[in-house]
Amino acid sequence: MTNDLDIQFGELAEAKPEVRLRPDGNKHFAVAPVYSPSKGELPVFVDLDAMRDMEEHAVSDTGVELGGVMLGGQYEDDQGRPFVLVTDSLRAKHYESTKGSFKFTHDTWSQITRERDEFPGELQMVGWYHTHPDWGVFLSGMDMFICDNFFNKKLDVALVIDPCRQDRGFFQWTGNAEQRVRRTDGFYLVASRFRQYELDEFATYLEGKVAMSGDPRFRGVSSSPAPIINVGGQPPWQTVAVLGMLTVQFCFLALIALRMLSPAEPRAESQPAKDVAALQASIERLGEVHRRESEIDAKIEVLDRVVGQWDGTPDGVLQSLSEKTSETKELREGLRAHEALERELDASVAELKSQLEDAKGRERSLEQEIAIFHAKSRDDQAVLADLEARLAALEKPKVTAAATSDVARESKWDWRWIAGIATTVVAALAVAAFAIPRRDRDNEVSSEESAEETNS
């Protein structure tokens, strides 16, 4: 009799991916590549908002490693080519992390499972993401443990973000025992076709490039109109003070314009240009190393096939091939380091080009300011001429009033003199009028007395 509790499970077969139209073949979506995705690797399409959320999570705390899971689907196109679509993300909580490690706990998986149940059933976990603050983009031993035990399906992916060095990369399974996982050369951002500009702008940001068109430092500089000064009813000293300030301002602007318009001394080749040339030379050398690496890999592959078909292979040949294989592995490790260096050099070149564009923008801004200074100086000259005319008009009536006052004073003194002279004349006439009749009377008396004496 068979025990009902003895249940035997067969080998779990991985479900075949659903067939779906790729986003880059669907006109409803806009797609922007980040870095340079290769045709031979697993295409990873990430929703713009999901990528923005993971990037914001990465920069929220750069003191420890952070992480979470990615939701979406694993599909095949109509030609049987697999691809991964990431449409959402869940941030991990209750995790264990340090500056150089991240670990999912039982509470973490319970929290993620509860949140996952709130989403539609077709939205599955397609991989996980975590950060390496200032450590670079790679998978450590603990990271590989998580991949092996929780995200080990053929189409599962892992995303590593370094928020300090502004680098990020997806890792995929290769099916090769020697190199089980590899970093993809790039991935794709996906959004609605109405968000093409926003999509391209964010892809440019992720690649470490700067979009100069949206920089507020190079927007048009608007000049304010000339100030209106009302001089009516103002005391003269205030008008003179205003004229003095305008004169000083005009002289200051003239000195600035003269300084800016003076020809600059010829300078030697700038340091950013030398750095760009050196970085381009380094990139060319790395490309040469990459080509040589490809040639060595091709030759070793041919030798492997020849030796594999030859039954009587000597031991020395096998030993030599083993050494060559080890050397090839070391060269591959070195090549990956060179590729990382090449990406850093590309970022440096982009930054230097951005600085050059920034300098050109500042030059254009200075030219605009010079034009504004010229226009403002012309306005100040016009205002100064207007104020001088008004000042002359204000000073003229005062001169007339002063002259009138002086004439009045002079006229006042003239009338006083005339009045004095008239009074003197009148007094003299009065005295004469009084003295003449009396003298006549005295003459008459004298005549009468003489007559009497004669008669006697």
Domain endpoint, select from 376, 391, 406: 391
Domain endpoint, select from 391, 422, 451: 391
- pLDDT of 33 reads 96
- pLDDT of 213 reads 46
Tell me the mean pLDDT in the region 234-257.
68
CA distances from 245 to 235, 258, 383, 384, 394 (A): 16, 20, 12, 10, 19
Work out how many domains the chain is built from and give that number: 2
Q: Looking at the structure, tell me whether residues 140 and 28 fall in a common domain.
A: yes
CB contact at 8 A, 188 and 25: no
Question: Which letter does DSSP use for residue 29 in this model?
Answer: E
Q: Looking at the structure, tell me whether residues 203 and 252 fall in a common domain.
A: no
Task: Tell whether the model's pLDDT for residue 48 goes beyond 60.
Answer: yes
Split at pLDDT 50, 70, 90, the class of 220 is: very low
Task: Tell whether the model's pLDDT for residue 252 goes beyond 90.
Answer: no
- pLDDT of 451 reads 60
Average pLDDT score, the chain:
77
Is residue 293 included in any domain, yes or no? yes
Q: Looking at the structure, tell me whether residues 261 and 194 fall in a common domain.
A: no
Q: Looking at the structure, tell me whether residues 263 and 195 fall in a common domain.
A: no
CA torsion sign for 311, 314, 317, 323 is: positive
Q: Looking at the structure, tell me whether residues 254 and 197 fall in a common domain.
A: no
- pLDDT of 185 reads 94
Q: Looking at the structure, tell me whether residues 243 and 134 fall in a common domain.
A: no
Residue 259's domain spans which residues? 238-391
Is residue 421 included in any domain, yes or no? no
Burial of 306 (0-12, 13-18, 19+ CB in 10 A): exposed
Which run of H or of E encompasses 7? none
Task: Tell whether the model's pLDDT for residue 266 goes beyond 60.
Answer: no
Rounded CA-CA distance 95/391 in Å is 80
Beta strand 181-183 pairing with 186-192? unpaired
Is residue 154 included in any domain, yes or no? yes
Is residue 433 included in any domain, yes or no? no
Pick the more confident residue, 257 or 51.
Answer: 51
Rounded CA-CA distance 244/371 in Å is 24
Instruction: Mention every residue, 6+ apart, whose C-beta is less than 8 A from residue 58.
Output: 66, 131, 161, 163
Task: Tell whether the model's pLDDT for residue 233 goes beyond 70.
Answer: no
Write the DSSP string, 46-98: EEHHHHHHHHHHHHT-SSS--EEEEEEEEEE-TTS-EEEEEEEEEE--S-EE-
Q: Looking at the structure, tell me whether residues 162 and 245 fall in a common domain.
A: no
Is residue 434 included in any domain, yes or no? no
Rounded CA-CA distance 452/430 in Å is 34
Angle (CA) 166-167-172 rounded to 5° is 160
Q: Looking at the structure, tell me whether residues 355 and 314 fall in a common domain.
A: yes
Q: Looking at the structure, tell me whether residues 270 and 312 fall in a common domain.
A: yes
Is residue 120 included in any domain, yes or no? yes
For the entire predicted model, the pTM comes to 0.47
Domain endpoint, select from 365, 391, 417: 391
Burial of 369 (0-12, 13-18, 19+ CB in 10 A): middle
Split at pLDDT 50, 70, 90, the class of 78 is: very high
Give residue-wise pLDDT tens across range 146-164: 999 999 999 999 999 999 9
Is residue 343 included in any domain, yes or no? yes
**Looking at the DSSP assignment, which residues form a beta bridge with residue 47?**
190
Quote the tokens at residue 174.
């290769």
Q: Looking at the structure, tell me whether residues 383 and 267 fall in a common domain.
A: yes
Is residue 417 included in any domain, yes or no? no
Percent of the chain with pLDDT over 70: 63
Q: Looking at the structure, tell me whether residues 257 and 170 fall in a common domain.
A: no
Q: Looking at the structure, tell me whether residues 316 and 197 fall in a common domain.
A: no
CATH label of the domain that carries residue 124: 3.40.140.10
- pLDDT of 100 reads 81
Give residue-wise pLDDT tens across range 180-219: 999 999 999 999 999 999 999 999 999 987 654 443 333 3
**Looking at the DSSP assignment, which residues form a beta bridge with residue 73?**
85
- pLDDT of 161 reads 97
